[in-house]
Structure 1
Amino acid sequence: MSWPPQSINKSLPDAKSIFFNLPKPTPCLPHVFLTAISLLFFISSTKRNPSFVKFLPFVSSDRRRFLKIPSMSHSGPPFATPQALSDWLKPRLPSDSLASWGVKPGTKNVHNLWLELSEGETTIVDSSPPLRTVNVVTVRVMGKDDLILVESRQQLSDGSFRDRFRPLSEKMKPNETVEEAVARAVKEELGSVIDPGSVRIVPGSYIKKLEERNSASYPGLPVRYILHSVDAWVEGVPEEDFCTDEQEEYQDLNGTMELEKAVSVRKHFWKWVSSDSLRS
Structure 2
Amino acid sequence: MPPPQQPPPIRNSHVNLPDLLLTALSVFYLFSSSSSKIKPPLPNFPSYPRRFIKIPTMSLHHHNHHRSFATPQSLSDWLKPRLRSDSLASWGVKPGTKNVHNLWLELSEGESSLADSTPPVRTVHVVTVRVIDDRNRVLVESEQELSDGSVRTRGRPLSEKMKPGEDPITAANRAVLEELGSVLNGSGQVKIVPGSYSKKVEERSSASYPGLPACYEVHSVDATVEGLPEEDFVTEEEHEYADSGERRVANEAVSVKKHFWKWVSPDSINS
1:261 aligns with 2:260: no
CA distance change for structure 1 residues 253 and 203 in 2, over 3 Å: closer, same or farther?
closer
State the 1:146 CA deviation: 2.1
**1:21-40 superposed matches below 5 A:** none
**Structure 1 position 183, deviation (Å):** 1.2
Instruction: Could you tell me which runs of 5 or more consecutive residues in structure 2 were left unpaired when the two chains were aligned.
Output: 1-57
Name the aligned partner's letter for residue 210 of structure 1. Answer: V
Task: Quote the residue 2:210 is aligned against.
Answer: 219
Pairs aligned (count): 210
Instruction: Give the match for residue 261 of structure 2.
Output: 270
Q: Does 1:248 align with 2:236?
A: no
Q: Report deviation, 1:126.
A: 1.1
Q: Which residue number in structure 1 is paired with residue 167 of structure 2? A: 177
| Alpha carbons of structure 1 residues 247 and 141: separation in structure 2 relative to 1, 3 Å | farther
How far is the alpha carbon of 1:185 from its aligned partner?
Answer: 0.5
Matched letter for residue 122 of structure 1: S
Deviation (angstroms), 1:144: 3.2
Does residue 227 of structure 2 align to residue 232 of structure 1? Answer: no
Mapped partners of 1:157, 1:254: distance in 2: 20
> More displaced, 111-120 or 177-186?
177-186
- Corresponding residue number in structure 2 for 1:152: 142
Unaligned ranges ≥5, structure 1: 1-68
The residue type paired with residue 83 of structure 2 is L
Offset at residue 170 of structure 1 (A): 0.1
Which is higher, the Rg of structure 1 or of structure 2?
2
- Alpha-carbon spacing, 1:274–1:95, altered in 2? closer, same or farther (3 Å): same
* Identity across the alignment (%): 67
Matched, 1:198 2:189: yes
Q: 2:77 aligns with which of 87, 95, 102?
A: 87
| Alpha-carbon distance in 2 for matches of 1:247, 1:197 | 21
TM-score, normalised to structure 1, is: 0.71
C-alpha spacing 1:103/1:235, structure 2 compared with 1 (3 Å): same
Is this contact kept in 2: 1:141–1:148, CA < 8 A?
A: yes
Letter in 1 for 2:262: K
Shift in CA distance, 176/96, structure 1 to aligned 2, threshold 3 Å: same
* Partners of 1:242 and 1:106 in 2: CA distance: 21
Distance of aligned partners of 1:279 and 1:254 in 2 relative to their CA distance in 1, 3 Å threshold: closer
Q: What is the SS of the residue equivalent to 1:137?
A: strand
Alpha-carbon spacing, 1:254–1:153, altered in 2? closer, same or farther (3 Å): closer
**How much has 1:254 moved relative to structure 2?**
4.4
Cα contact 2:91–2:100 (8 A) shared by 1: yes
Residues 43-88 of structure 1 deviation map (CA, whole Å, 9 limit, x = unaligned): xxxxxxxxxxxxxxxxxxxxxxxxxx99979xx9700000000000
Aligned positions of 1:62-211 closer than 5 A: 78-194=68-184, 198-211=189-202
One-letter identity of the residue aligned with 1:114: W
Return the offset for 1:256.
Answer: 5.3
Residues 67 and 116 of structure 2 are in contact (CA less than 8 Å); yes or no, is this contact kept in structure 1?
no
1:130-151 Cα deviation digits (max 9, x unpaired): 0000000000000233210000
**Which stretch of the first structure deviates more once superposed, 191-200 or 104-113?**
191-200
Taking the aligned partners of 1:255 and 1:160, their CA distance within structure 2 comes to 24
RMSD: 2.2
